[in-house]
Amino acid sequence: MEKTLPPAGKLWLVGAGPGDPDLLTLRAARLLESADLVVHDGLVGEGVLALIPPHVERISVAKQRSRHTMKQELINELLVRETLAGKQVVRLKGGDPFIFGRGGEELDAAREAGVACETVPGITAAAGCAAQAGLPLTHREDASAVSFVAGQCKDLTDQDWSGLAGHGRTLVIYMGLATASAIADKLIADGVSPGLPVAVIERGTTAEARVLRTLLTDLGDLVAREKVKSPALIIVGKVAARADALDCLGAPGVAAQIRDFT
């Protein structure tokens, strides 16, 4: 008598975009409909989570600075175990899985376990939030290069960011709120002008979006005084002065505000 083989599972690393569910890709939306299990981060927008059908199992593995619901190694084990059990597993991540999302680590774990895995890209926060703020990351007059860095990292002062900010460049800093003052000091010490424009985009693409403009030398004071909350991006460069068109996406219900402290 032949044995019945278990159904073949598959792991999908899916980008949820920067928050607004209208910015989710069609493929991502279809996968949420057909999934057996969705394992999601804390940065995934509530509107996106609302698209998950009630019958689909959901597990939150939300992370905050210095406090994790589940360590990354355990997340990897969970994804592999559930996929090997024959489930269609969607690993839903804010933004894009491969931009500060640890998607590469989870892909490595899947490959090592022989698990079928596919990645579905999402709009990264830098692109989505900057677009809502009317802030072009590159511009023929202001910037021909753009760099993404993580502000929440060990030994920040030892990170080599030389040449990433300044004339003709835009620097986008993810997870930089807690170290905003140190980031400003570091860039200025590296030769970046203290008067370079900076934009801080809080909860970009959502109805609670705020865009605050200041100068690099005042970045730390601004973040503290305005009590900026995560998730937020810090954009350093001349293009930051162009942030002034918050309705450019035409998102319904978005009542974002811009404040200029330059």
Q: Which residues are known to be catalytic? A: 41, 63
- Rounded Cα distance between 155 and 132, Å, is 32
| Tally of CA atoms within 13 A in the half-sphere of 177 that contains its CB | 19
Residue 231: asked if its preceding bond is cis (omega within 30°), the reply is yes
Place of tokens 């949420």: 32
Strand bridging mode 210-215 / 197-202: antiparallel
Identify any residues that bridge with 235 across adjacent strands, giving them in sequence order.
172, 199
Place of tokens 């570091």: 186
Q: Are 198 and 235 in contact (CB under 8 A)?
A: yes
Question: What does the block give as tokens for 169?
Answer: 């460049």
- Rounded Cα distance between 86 and 66, Å, is 33
